[in-house]
Amino acid sequence: MMSRSEALFQRACRVIPGGVNSPVRAFGSVGETPRFIRSANGAYLTDADGVEYLDFVGSWGPMILGHNHPAVREAVQKACEGGLSYGAATEYEVQIAELICSEVPNIEMIRMVNSGTEAVMSAIRAARGYTGRDKIVKFMGCYHGHSDALLVQAGSGVMTAGVPDSAGVPAGCTKDTLSAVYNDLGSVEKLFAEFPEEIAAVIVEPVAANMGVVPPEEGFLQGLRSLCTRYGAVLIFDEVITGFRLGFTGAQGYFGVDADLVTYGKIIGAGMPVGAYGGKREILSLVAPSGPVYQAGTLSGNPVAMQAGMAQLKLLREHPEIYTELNRKGDWFFEELKKALKECSLPYQVNHVGSLGSLFFTGGPVTDYASAKTSDTALFASWFRYMLGKQIYFAPSQFEAIFLSAAHTREELEQVLELGREFLKRI
Ligand code: KE4
């Protein structure tokens, strides 16, 4: 008898490309039928067949408090009573912008958009408008959404699919995109030496989380800061994942490095479609209608989404202990995973920063795209299938992250570690 997910997937494949609205959801690299989810609560998902899973994806990051948090749900329910969208300015977008600008370093102004892709695309345009330069530097294995110029040796679903770039992107769109090696400052210095006055921006995931999780090595982010200052380029921190996850001040606060522009997504919408880009007033004031850099959006600053995001950010701001506990939980969990590997004398790697981490099925350290790609994706797939069979839902790709939330309990994590040991003992 076919499961409901299987039946739904068959139907979906007839009317939606690949049966999904975002490629990584298709479970393509793990040889499983994608689970169609019916509901979620706290740390759990429930699929169309009523099977419950302990969830380590958390909608790819937004669910830092766990799914369906009462404060967020009630804010959305109340917001809906006022209607869904006006296409006009509202107090709600002012409130969330004031909160972020008052609490996060270097965010003097911020513009709301509808996705991380849109936030990054717009930040790049603002940096180009501000400097009058065309070239941008990105890092192999980092993923910044699917805008043309950034689909160059990208991570996440692109890396999972094993296609270095995308079809349909004209060479003209990527000719000004330069690729560097994550954690290799020399590779960036070389590009600046070659194009000393042509680089508008360097964009970096301050903790790379789209080739699996790869932390910045000591001095890497600080080095990017000095290079951008020296050559007059804009430093963009893509904090779509790290923003409001590592702490309320994100990676800037966590690592003590100042960016010029920061992009956000995920947590600031609490699960509703929200992205944002913010930073120095002298750059943001060039964005229309106050300046010549055009950017717009019908649903930008949507009142329901703003109230959802505000409810989540207010909770995080008023309860900093959430971060202390979450980061401590992450340190404990990922260190225990390392111990389990040692107990089984397995050479595999665990990278993590706070509540973000990855288990890489490769024998050497994972510090960049090339080393991440040495991972045994077939072995990852069997790990994934084993865990899914035990009702543990990890990201269906070696090149994604494990997201812990405030809703995961120590007991649940201990059970997962026990299951992990069982799997690892069989390898
Ligand atoms: P969205 O357009 O998907 O909202 O954000 C793009 C983006 C930008 N920057 C970073 C650092 C990101 O991680 C993302 C999107 N993250 C992926 C997960 N690795 C989204 C999952 C998906 O594509 O379905």
Q: What angle do CA 39, 62, 309 make, to 5 degrees?
A: 100
143 as an active site residue: the answer is: yes
Number of domains in the chain: 2
Tokens standing for residue 146: 């699917």
- The single residue of 44, 53, 92, 143 carrying the catalytic annotation is 143
Residue the block writes with tokens 């429930």: 46
Q: How far is the CA of 120 from the centre of ligand 1 (A)?
A: 10
Query: What confidence tens digit (pLDDT) does each residue in 144-162 have?
Result: 999 999 999 888 888 887 7
Pocket test for ligand 1, best of 144, 160, 261, 263 (most atoms within 8 A of CB): 144
Which domain, by its residues, includes 367? 4-68+320-426
Tell me the sheet residues that pair with 270. 272
- The single residue of 47, 238, 260, 368 carrying the catalytic annotation is 238
Does one domain contain both 57 and 183? no
Does one domain contain both 331 and 240? no
The CATH number linked to 255 is 3.40.640.10
266 as an active site residue: the answer is: yes
Cβ proximity of 394 and 27 under 8 Å = no
Does one domain contain both 327 and 410? yes
The CATH number linked to 417 is 3.90.1150.10
138 lines ligand 1 (CB under 6 A): no
User: DSSP letters along 311-330, please?
Assistant: HHHHHHHH-THHHHHHHHHH
Domain final residue pick, 293, 318, 343: 318
Q: How far is the CA of 193 from the centre of ligand 1 (A)?
A: 31
Does one domain contain both 388 and 421? yes
Domain final residue pick, 318, 335, 351: 318
Residue the block writes with tokens 């980092």: 142
Biggest alpha carbon–alpha carbon distance for the chain: 64
Does one domain contain both 347 and 278? no
- The single residue of 53, 92, 135, 266 carrying the catalytic annotation is 266
> Of all helices (H) and strands (E), which one includes residue 277?
strand 275-279
240 lines ligand 1 (CB under 6 A): yes
Ligand 1, atom 6, lies closest to the CA of 145
120 lines ligand 1 (CB under 6 A): yes
pLDDT at position 159 is 83
Does one domain contain both 130 and 220? yes
pLDDT at position 155 is 85
Does one domain contain both 138 and 264? yes
Tell me the sheet residues that pair with 357. 352, 402
Tell me the sheet residues that pair with 278. 110, 262
Low-confidence ranges of the chain (pLDDT < 50): none
117 lines ligand 1 (CB under 6 A): yes
| CB burial of residue 347 (10 Å; 0-12, 13-18, 19+) | exposed
Does one domain contain both 108 and 165? yes
Ligand 1, atom 1, lies closest to the CA of 116
264 as an active site residue: the answer is: no
- In sequence order, the 6+-apart residues with CB closer than 8 A to the CB of 184 are 368
Does one domain contain both 293 and 178? yes
Does one domain contain both 238 and 292? yes
269 lines ligand 1 (CB under 6 A): no
pLDDT at position 317 is 98
Q: What is the pTM of this model?
A: 0.98
The Cα 385–Cα 381 span in angstroms is 6
Domain final residue pick, 270, 288, 318: 318
156 lines ligand 1 (CB under 6 A): yes
- Report the b/e string of 62-93 with b at 16+ CB within 10 A: bbbbbbebeebbebbeebeeeeeeeeeeeebb
pLDDT at position 163 is 67
User: DSSP letters along 186-251, please?
Assistant: HHHHHHHHHSTTTEEEEEE-SSB-SSS-BPPPTTHHHHHHHHHHHHTPEEEEE-TTTTTTSSTTHH
Pocket test for ligand 1, best of 241, 266, 267 (most atoms within 8 A of CB): 241
pLDDT at position 164 is 62
pLDDT at position 109 is 98
β-strands 356-360, 402-403: how paired?
A: antiparallel
Tokens standing for residue 12: 């979906």
Does one domain contain both 133 and 282? yes
